[in-house]
Amino acid sequence: MPTPHFPVTEFLSSGEPLAVVSPDQAEVAAAGARTADWTVLLAESADGSGLRALQAGLAESLDLPGAAAVNLDALADTLRDLPDRTPDAPGTLLVWTPAEGIGLEDDGLATLLELLAETAAEGGTPRLAVLVSSAAVVRQLEEGEA
């Protein structure tokens, strides 16, 4: 999971589906994506760890249909549809902040990172790209704990 190069337009044009960045980088990236006319969606899973808590937080913060909060296939389907909400934009950048302190050792986070990366990698026009804003995961990646 690479950290995108700045300006964010390089990440958005790279075709990379997902990157993990620090919260400060996520703010800069969101602003840069807006400048490039991308739709930016901010989501968070503020409470708890584990798959269902993280999934529910992500689905609820994006106002996705109820099944997306409890069913991974439904979550993937609704994530694929996000760029269709604004078809005139070149793409949709989803900036997701998992619960603070949750790291790669959390199976739920690992599952959702995989789902987000696979869903965004499917491509399409307009495109979906995902930034995961997490100081804990950035630190783990830098320390080689991944």
H/E segment holding residue 130: strand 127-133
Query: What's residue 5's pLDDT?
Result: 44
Query: What's residue 4's pLDDT?
Result: 45
Partnered with residue 127 across adjacent β-strands are 91
User: What are the residue ranges spanned by the domains of the chain?
Assistant: 8-145
Query: What's residue 146's pLDDT?
Result: 53
From the first residue on, what is the mean pLDDT of each consecutive set of 10 residues in the chain (146 residues)?
A: 60 91 93 94 88 94 94 96 93 94 91 96 90 94 78
Query: What's residue 66's pLDDT?
Result: 84
The fold for domain 8-145 equals Barnase; Chain D (3.30.370)
Partnered with residue 68 across adjacent β-strands are none
> Residue 125: helix, strand or coil by DSSP?
coil
Cα separation of 120 and 141, whole Å? Answer: 21
Query: What's residue 56's pLDDT?
Result: 94
